[in-house]
Amino acid sequence: MKFSASIAGSLKADLKAEMRQIEKAVAEGVKDAGDGLKGSLRRQVITAGLGPRLARTWRSRAYPNKGHDAASLVWSKAPDIVRSFDRGAVIRGKSGFWLAIPTAAAPKRGKPVPAEAGGGKRITPATFPEHRFGPLRFVYRRGAPSLLVVDGVRISAKTGRVGRRAKGGAFTKTGRMKSGITTVVMFVMVPQVRMPKRLDVRRAAETWTGRVPGLIGRHTRKD
C-alpha cells in the first residue's frame, strides 16, 4: 500500500509538472503569435507605402492567464486610418462640400501656427498662404473636376518650383502674360475619393492563428 501510494504521489507530481510546462508553452506560443501578427501588419503598412509612423501604431499585448486560456491582443492606435485602407473606404466632403486635393505644385505646409514655432498647418484652401501666392481662384469645369488656381506666379527656370506672386502685375501693356509668369493649379476639387484597399488585416490574422499550434509545440519541445 505504501509503495502504491508513493507511485501515485509521484505520478501526480509529474502530471502537475507536465501541466505547468504545457501552460507555459501555451502562453509563450500565443505570445509569439501575437508578436508575429504585429510584425506582419507593420510590414504590410510599410510595403503599402503608408510610412513607418502608421506602422508603429500596431501594438500587441500578451495575457498568460491561468490554465490553457492564454491570449494575445493586437491593435492599432490609429484604427480609423487602418480601417480605411483595409476596407477601401469612400471619403466624402463634409456637409456636401467638395474635397480639395492638393497638387504637386501646392506648398507642403499652410499658414504658420502661432503655437508652433516655425511650424504650419496641413495645406488646405483655408490654410493656403495667399500672402505669398495670391488668392485662390475657382475654375468650374463641366464634366471634369473643378480647380482652385493662383494667377500671376513665377516658375523658377532652374528648379521648376512655384515662386511668389509677381509684383507689378502678370501682364504686359499689350495684354500678354509676362515671361516666367503663369497660372498654376493648386487644388483639384472632387465630390469624393475612394481609397484603394492596401491592407489585408484578416488574412494576416488567419495566417498567425493557424501557426499557433506549431508555436506551442515548439516551446513544448524546447522544455
DSSP symbols for 77-102: S-HHHHHHHHHT-EEE-GGGPPEEEE
Query: CA–CA separation, 157 vs 186, rounded Å?
Result: 19
Provide the pLDDT for residue 171. Answer: 55
Does residue 47 register a pLDDT over 80?
yes
Q: State pLDDT tens for residues 110-164.
A: 766 554 444 457 788 888 888 888 889 999 888 888 999 988 877 766 655 676 6
The residue-averaged pLDDT of 166-189 equals 68
**Residue 199 — pLDDT band, cuts 50, 70, 90?**
very high
- Residue 105 has a pLDDT of 85
Residues 6+ apart with CB under 8 A from 102: 123, 124, 186, 187
d(CA 153, CA 2): 101
pLDDT band (50, 70, 90) for residue 213: very high
3-class SS string, 160-184 = CCEEEECCCCCECCCCCECCCEEEE
Least confident segment among 18-22, 24-28, 170-174: 170-174
H or E segment to which residue 16 belongs: helix 2-47
Tell whether the model's pLDDT for residue 73 goes beyond 50: yes
More confident residue, 50 or 93: 50
* Alpha-carbon span 35 to 30, nearest angstrom: 9
d(CA 129, CA 131): 5
3-state percent breakdown (helix, strand, coil) of the chain, nearest 5: 40, 25, 35
Per-chain mean pLDDT for the chain: 81
Between CA 204 and CA 185 the distance in angstroms is 41
Residue 217 corresponds to which amino acid? G
Q: Give the C-alpha separation, 205 to 78, whole Å.
A: 18
CA atoms of 27 and 12, how far apart (whole Å): 23
pLDDT (0 to 100) of residue 8: 54
**What is the spatial distance between Cα 219 and Cα 72, in angstroms, rounded to a whole number?**
16
The pLDDT > 70 percentage for the chain reads 74
pLDDT at 169: 56
Domain residue ranges in the chain: 2-88+197-222, 91-194
pTM for the model stands at: 0.60
Average pLDDT of the residues in 44-63: 95
Q: What is the pLDDT of residue 142?
A: 87
Residue 200, pLDDT score: 95
Three-class secondary structure of residue 196 per DSSP:
coil
Handedness of CA 60, 62, 63, 67 (dihedral sign): positive
HSE, CB side, 13 Å, CA atoms: give it for residue 200. Answer: 5
Instruction: With beta carbons less than 8 A apart as the criterion, state whether 153 and 181 touch.
Output: yes
The pLDDT value given to residue 59: 97
Per residue in 74-115, pLDDT (tens digit) is 999 999 999 989 988 777 766 667 888 899 888 887 766 554
Determine contact, residues 139/147, Cβ cutoff 8 Å. Answer: yes
